[in-house]
Structure 1
Amino acid sequence: MQLFFTSQTTENQFELDSEESKHLIKVLRKSQGDTVYFTDGRGNLYHCKIIDANAKKAVLRIEDREFQPEDDYYIHLAISPTKNADRMEWMIEKLTEIGVHEITFMESEFSERSHLKLERLEKKIVAACKQSLKTWLPKLNPVRPMKELLQDQQFNDYQRFIAYVDKENDRHLFAKAKADQAYLILIGPEGDFSQQEIQLAFDNHFLPCSLGKSRLRSETAAVAAVHTLQLVNNLKDL
């Protein structure tokens, strides 16, 4: 199955933008009468029929709809953006494929970047959802100060973790996380968190956790963290 994305599903019939139309008609050589699948990123999977195979503005009609409920758990990853924009885009793509629910960029003491092209990252999320056949788009938040995030009371009911490099911090996230929870996990920049930031996290009931014996790049650590939390929840019944 190939999956496409549209936000125009308020009516039973809708037009695609020029980019999606060209991909559907010219690249994939779909024709009038063919059935294709779309999502709106809110859990809906639409079975659509092409009624006008126009490569500039294809028209489709919704024939059926399936709703796919959200997971019983919620993974919110907060990370200090790194200097390399390409690696941030790679990370966003992989996190989406693996199954993150929300991403927040945070400004910490050793952050290397404070500005991100969120619109470009949103496009990466949409593309990764289509590739991995996901019907829920992860939420992407702009940069916010780490202290503000640590003290945000909306996370009081979350399992909260801070991952950092320390030989004393050797208990893996997999051993600490409980299934069917909402999680907030913090990943620092290449220079890691400062000791003051780690202490502030402890003061706000964040638990330290390890992601393994190797020292990981920030982007790799983010992927490892989300994958670990997915394992916690997907292996619980085995």
Structure 2
Amino acid sequence: MHLFYQPEPITQLTEDDSRHAVKTLRLSAGDSIAVTDGHGNRHLAVITSADARRCAFRVTDTQTTPPRPFSVRICVAPTKNLDRIEWFVEKAVEIGIERISFFIGQHSERRVLKLERIEKIGIAAMKQSLQSYLPRFDEATSFTDLLKTVAEEQRFIAHLPANASPANLASAVDPGGHYAVLIGPEGDFSASEIQQAQAAGWTLATLGPNRLRTETAALTACQLLNFVNY
């Protein structure tokens, strides 16, 4: 069954989804669809008006998916090449993530990020992977301000210092927790940012012996946290 996204009120599809349902999928009145509000509710519905601009439907049943017993939040600096961070967002949503927070670090090459495009990619990935929860996407903020917003109990900063050997992220976490992982920009974190994070209760952790691109590191962290919980 085809899955669509429509926040409240649940009466008709968005214009983009209406066009996709009627023009691309060739759905018509009487066909069954599923609609999620992005908050765990999935509505089973029947199309009542196959209009390519305002496809209306009638809800026949509602199923609620409980939140996962753990949560993943990746805090990442946007990459200079926007395609790379968009790729991360798409794949992270498909794998499973509750929140993506963007920050501008001292070594960041990109200092502006339009969240509207990120949200559209997230919605498309949620529908493609048949999920009922849309992750939260936070506007890019300063590194210092970001640290003030993080309340997750298990907080890690992905960094491999030259004179230390921190634990691998997969072995450092406790299953069933609420996680936040900091991923630095292309130029890595500055020494002062690492000190600031550690002073705020973040723990150094590695993602393996290889040096990873920002978007690869962010996706690796997301996958590891999902893996240890399944």
Q: State yes or no: 1:185 paired with 2:177.
A: no
Gaps of 5+ in 1: none
Structure 1 residue 3, shift from structure 2 partner: 1.1
Of 197, 201, 207, the residue aligned with 2:203 is: 207
Amino acid paired to 1:9: P
Gaps of 5+ in 2: none
- Are 1:81 and 1:88, in contact at CA under 8 Å, matched by a contact in 2? yes
Q: Could you say which residue in structure 1 is the equivalent of 2:47?
A: 50
Q: Could you say which residue in structure 2 is the equivalent of 1:229?
A: 225
Q: Could you say which residue in structure 2 is the equivalent of 1:138?
A: 135
Q: Could you say which residue in structure 2 is the equivalent of 1:164?
A: 159
Of 26, 29, 35, the residue aligned with 2:26 is: 29
- Distance in 1, Cα, partners of 2:221 & 2:14: 36
- Are 1:169 and 1:208, in contact at CA under 8 Å, matched by a contact in 2? no
Q: Could you say which residue in structure 2 is the equivalent of 1:175?
A: 171
- Are 1:9 and 1:40, in contact at CA under 8 Å, matched by a contact in 2? no
Amino acid paired to 1:112: E
- Distance in 1, Cα, partners of 2:179 & 2:225: 8
Q: How many residues align?
A: 229
Amino acid paired to 2:5: F
SS at match of 1:90: helix
Amino acid paired to 1:62: V
- Are 2:157 and 2:181, in contact at CA under 8 Å, matched by a contact in 1? yes
Q: State yes or no: 1:9 paired with 2:4.
A: no
Residues 175-224 of structure 1: per-residue CA shift (max 9 Å, x gap)? 00111111111000011111111111111111110101111000000000
- Distance in 1, Cα, partners of 2:82 & 2:198: 30
- Distance in 2, Cα, partners of 1:50 & 1:211: 47
- Distance in 2, Cα, partners of 1:103 & 1:215: 22
Q: State yes or no: 1:78 paired with 2:75.
A: yes
Deviates more, 1:73-82 or 1:163-172: 163-172
- Distance in 1, Cα, partners of 2:100 & 2:14: 27
Structure 1 residue 19, shift from structure 2 partner: 1.8
- Are 1:50 and 1:61, in contact at CA under 8 Å, matched by a contact in 2? yes
Give the RMSD, CA atoms, in angstroms.
1.4
Deviates more, 1:1-10 or 1:95-104: 1-10
- Distance in 2, Cα, partners of 1:147 & 1:18: 39
Q: State yes or no: 1:60 paired with 2:57.
A: yes
Structure 1 residues 55 and 189 mapped into 2: Cα distance closer, same or farther (>3 Å)? Answer: same
Amino acid paired to 2:115: L
- Distance in 1, Cα, partners of 2:60 & 2:130: 19
- Distance in 1, Cα, partners of 2:60 & 2:100: 33
Structure 1 residue 170, shift from structure 2 partner: 4.5
